[in-house]
Amino acid sequence: MKIELRAFMKFKTYLPSDSIDGKAMISLKDGATVADLLGALGIPLDEQKLIIINGISRGVSGTVNAKTLGDGDVVAIFPPAAGG
């Protein structure tokens, strides 16, 4: 299956070299999870990140790592927001 990955800020460094403007098409096996995607890119699972799948925020907790992805999903990865 193929998913569209959109990476922002420091997560752009994990994208394949053929990515354009922070976007890349990633091939994964059917039934792959967010953890599988992160592992394929070399992004540490324990690194804090905000995951958005198909426009819906899935949060920053480790539970999102178990979320199964589907063909054509759009996954965005952001560093967590900071401020006060």
Determine the structural domain holding residue 52 and report its residue range: 2-78
Report the CATH number that the domain containing residue 63 is assigned in CATH. Answer: 3.10.20.30
* pLDDT at position 67: 93
Question: Domain for residue 17, yes or no?
Answer: yes
> In degrees, to the nearest 5, what angle opens at C-alpha 6 toward C-alphas 35 and 75?
45
Q: Does residue 83 surpass a pLDDT of 60?
A: no
Mean pLDDT is lowest, of 29-38, 53-62, 75-84, for 75-84
> In degrees, to the nearest 5, what angle opens at C-alpha 55 toward C-alphas 26 and 50?
75
Question: 59 falls in which pLDDT band (50, 70, 90)?
Answer: confident
Residues contacting 47, CB < 8 A, separation 6+: none
Six-digit token string for 43: 């992004």
Question: Domain for residue 73, yes or no?
Answer: yes
Question: Domain for residue 42, yes or no?
Answer: yes
Question: Domain for residue 84, yes or no?
Answer: no
In whole angstroms, give the CA distance from residue 51 to residue 61: 9
Edge-to-edge strand list for the sheet holding 2-7:
23-27, 2-7, 74-78, 50-53, 56-59
pLDDT, the chain, mean: 91
Question: Domain for residue 83, yes or no?
Answer: no
Report the domain count for the chain.
1
pTM for the structure as a whole: 0.90
* pLDDT at position 82: 61
